[in-house]
Structure 1
Amino acid sequence: MYYTYLKNSHIEEVATIISTNYKNARLALPILSDKYENIEMHIKRIQKYIDNDDFVLAVESGKVAGFMYGFKINEFKGTAKGVLSIPSIHGIADGYDKNYLYSELYRRASDLWVNTDCYTHAMMMYANDKDAIDSWVMSGFGMLVIDAVRSLDEIIVPNTDNNILIRKVEITDLINMEYLFKGIDEHLSSTPIYLYNHINENYVDEYSNWLRTEGNMLWIAEIGNKIIGYLKTNITEINMDELDDGYTMGINGAYVLPEYRGQHIMARMLNTAADWAIENGLKRCSTDFESANIEARQFWLKHFTPYCYSMIRRIDERNHLNLISMGDK
């Protein structure tokens, strides 16, 4: 086996590996879209990486055994530059030892990344691929974000409190929701999540502008005149491109005041949103959340099935900078 970079002769084999890996993910979770099974789509997308030295390939007996590439990001999960590799730009062909081959690909790719001062490395992989997940854990990666999906079936909610009203937001409601928007920002930046987030001082304008886009919805839970929670859904801001097929309702915001949790309020809002999605011809609902978000993890994993894991590793740049310094002597 030898390692090289992407050439035109490799394109179809790489696209086939991407498509096959996704077919396996969809076989494990049929609710997923069939979008990424299209080999021709992958061929067109991969062509732009031809002759790119950063697109690392493993080749054996003239056949592509595996490949790895990553997008470079400034200030990635911190002040350092980093690299993100999504499932459509890394993969191992059937029949190969994923633990071994991913490790060898990462050995070479990480050298390229670190030598361009990228010290935060993140890998996204389909949840069904246990061998790939194990290989990245052994390479020093830990869980960061979980993408999950569910059908639009109703969640059975026991002991419904009829005093809680679930409805679609009105623009005039936003001025009375600022404490909710501040609440989620404070929650995400607190222990043990520590998600850096720029605090917006003008939530009303932000959400008013966001609601102008067709398909963007805020669902709220209300007791009397008090709004106690919200669910933010859309059809255009789907986190995973694999599911961005026009049939997915994405969730990218949710919060219930702590004192009202345990009353199935979020499930009730999700049911109302799902009814809207069904009426509009959608097929599924997706969400993503930080795995360190304990409250979110408990709720979403109860009602959704993971389909993609994002794992992260932070390189100690001092060793690399020391090697550079030694080389200058």
Structure 2
Amino acid sequence: MNHYELKSMKKEHLEDAARLFADNYRTERGRMPILPPRYENHNTVLPLLGKLIQKAPGVVALKNGNLSGYLIGQLLPAWRGRRSTFVPFWAHAVTGKKRRMILQYMYAHLSSNWTANGCFTHLISVLANDKEMLDTLFWFGFGMAVIDSIRDFSDLQSPLADIEVRRASLDDLEIILLLSQEFRRYMAGPPIFMPLVEKSSKKYNEKWLSNPANALWLGLYKKEAVAYMEIGSLNEDYVITDEKTVWIQGAYTKEHLRGKGFGAALLKCALDWAQAQGYEKCAVDFEGENILASAFWLRHFRPTCFSLVRQVDERIGWAHKDRADEHFW
């Protein structure tokens, strides 16, 4: 591979890999200063890589013994019902003038392991401004799955005067379950087609509402709850976040009242609450197929990360390149 050598990722590669990601993230944050600074410190990513390498294969690209790139993915047993491999935004990085080529060959090398393990759905999260890496993956047949976005608390618009918003309590649990189920039905419709496998969980919603670190806001029309927005902390390794970033975790408005300003009113109340709690930024993620979500969130937030997906033809599990001639009949 033009003087590059591919090897299995080992413990001795972790330090250089973490530093490489931190360097790339620093470049990304130079383009987008609102990003949390914590990932500029390689020690933030180092334990994440160390944990992942213990349970999943990875690959490194070396030139003259120096690390030029790495790629490692984790198993998701049932992403959208399918056994999948997911590469978080910190689980890959490439440097140098041959970044595109290095990523191509690392993916080609590692994806054979993924498919051999029954993972035919491949997901990779990429920093939003890394156009070269995004373009490389598009050429490999990847498409948009999920968009992570962020904003600060400047330029908050005041809600329309005739829209009433209040914070929900446990007394509103039945109303919330009804709205949540409506939201799930919306997500199951075209063009999103997210299967409606189960009803909204009363136990989960009760626990979520009972946590003072979370807040759910209801939008009212003629005293009836017709919209909601959930906001709270999210301590997950797979998203760009820190202790000063709060996450919107769900939002929905009844169909006949969309476009009336309920989303903006709920967002204003949610962000005012978050700012009062000491947060400095707010993040949200949404599916690319969700037309209404894309239009709304991109008016108020800037993308930080794109999660891309490729679905490999599952017949490759048996119709692979090493299939013996005697197996054709």
Which residues of 2 match residues 89-168 of structure 1 at below 5 A?
89-93=91-95, 95-156=96-157, 160=160, 162-168=161-167
State the shift of 1:66 in Å: 0.7
Q: Are 1:47 and 2:44 matched, yes or no?
A: no
State the shift of 1:55 in Å: 1.1
State the shift of 1:74 in Å: 1.4
Aligned mates of 1:236, 1:270 — CA distance in 2: 17
**What is the letter of the counterpart of residue 66 of structure 1?**
G
| Structure 2 equivalent of residue 228 of structure 1 | 226
Aligned mates of 2:212, 2:38 — CA distance in 1: 23
Aligned mates of 1:141, 1:309 — CA distance in 2: 11
Moved more, 164-173 or 294-303: 164-173
Q: Are 1:271 and 2:268 matched, yes or no?
A: yes
The 1:219/1:116 distance shift into structure 2, 3 A limit, reads same
Which residues of 2 match residues 1-329 of structure 1 at below 5 A?
1-48=4-51, 54-78=57-81, 80-93=82-95, 95-156=96-157, 160=160, 162-200=161-199, 202-203=201-202, 205-236=203-234, 240-243=238-241, 245-323=242-320, 326=324
Aligned mates of 2:179, 2:92 — CA distance in 1: 39
Percent identical across equivalent pairs?
28
State the shift of 1:101 in Å: 1.2
Contact 2:69 2:94 in 1 (8 A): yes
Q: What is the TM-score with the length of structure 2 in the denominator? A: 0.91
Q: Which SS does the other structure have where 2:286 is aligned? A: strand
State the shift of 1:202 in Å: 4.9
* Aligned positions, number: 323
Moved more, 7-16 or 133-142: 7-16
Unaligned ranges ≥5, structure 2 = none
State the shift of 1:309 in Å: 0.2
Query: What CA deviation, in whole Å up to 9, does each residue of 1:101-121 have, x standing for no partner?
Result: 111111101111111111000
Aligned mates of 1:237, 1:220 — CA distance in 2: 24
Q: Which SS does the other structure have where 1:87 is aligned? A: coil
Q: Which SS does the other structure have where 1:25 is aligned? A: helix
Aligned mates of 1:237, 1:255 — CA distance in 2: 23
Q: What is the TM-score with the length of structure 1 in the denominator? A: 0.91
Aligned mates of 2:115, 2:31 — CA distance in 1: 35
The 1:174/1:91 distance shift into structure 2, 3 A limit, reads same
State the shift of 1:193 in Å: 0.4
The 1:15/1:328 distance shift into structure 2, 3 A limit, reads farther
Contact 1:18 1:87 in 2 (8 A): no
Q: Which SS does the other structure have where 1:276 is aligned? A: helix
Query: What CA deviation, in whole Å up to 9, does each residue of 1:42-66 have, x standing for no partner?
Result: 3333334668882111101111111
Aligned mates of 1:178, 1:51 — CA distance in 2: 40
The 1:171/1:49 distance shift into structure 2, 3 A limit, reads closer
State the shift of 1:234 in Å: 0.6
Unaligned ranges ≥5, structure 1 = none
Aligned mates of 2:229, 2:85 — CA distance in 1: 31
**What is the letter of the counterpart of residue 289 of structure 2?**
A
Query: What CA deviation, in whole Å up to 9, does each residue of 1:208-235 have, x standing for no partner?
Result: 2211122111011112320110000111
Q: Which SS does the other structure have where 1:81 is aligned? A: strand
Contact 2:169 2:209 in 1 (8 A): no
The 1:259/1:51 distance shift into structure 2, 3 A limit, reads closer
Query: What CA deviation, in whole Å up to 9, does each residue of 1:237-288 have, x standing for no partner?
Result: 5584431x21111011100111111122111111111111111110000000
**What is the letter of the counterpart of residue 132 of structure 2?**
D
